[in-house]
Amino acid sequence: MIKQIYLNLPVKDLNKSIEFFSHLGFTFNSQFTDETAACMVLGENIYVMLLTEEKFSQFTDRKIADGHQTSEMLIAIDAPSRGAVDEMVNKALEAGGSLYSKPQDHGWMYQNSFADLDGHQWEVLFMDEEALAKQTS
């Protein structure tokens, strides 16, 4: 059984990325943060390692994708309400992020999306479990 998840993302400017995600309300584990990496806490046992491109390159021999030009993955995170979804996306825009997709309302699930400073795509979603239960029953 997996006990922890560490997602590693390359960033061009670590300090600007820390400022960006701090503005969204995320915190960092200083035990795993230095001038080349920052450990962003998403939740209990879920972390995103923001790594300078130089540091990231130490873990792979592949070319680092330009997140503004290509998509390698979509990072989906949940929020406690529809309002919290839009609040996080609005904070991302205030901090220099950009929209990459229009909000989508599926009735039981609402999502909105932003790209961070390095173009990594984040989907913020709220799932209404009561509405989902009604839909599937």
Per-residue pLDDT of 26-68, as tens digits, reads 999 999 999 999 999 999 999 999 999 999 999 999 999 999 9
73-88 pLDDT tens trace: 899 999 999 999 999 9
Residue 65 inside a domain? The answer is no
123, 70, 99, 50: CA torsion to nearest 10: 60
Q: Which domain holds residue 120?
A: 72-137
Structure confidence at residue 105 as a pLDDT band (50, 70, 90) = very high
Please give the tally of structural domains in the chain: 2
Residue 49 inside a domain? The answer is yes
- The closest of 110, 111, 112, 109 to 132, measured between CA atoms, is 109
Q: Are residues 80 and 55 in the same domain?
A: no
What is the domain-level CATH number for residue 36? Answer: 3.10.180.10
Compute the distance between CA of residue 92 and CA of residue 90 in angstroms, rounded to an integer: 5
Residue 76 inside a domain? The answer is yes
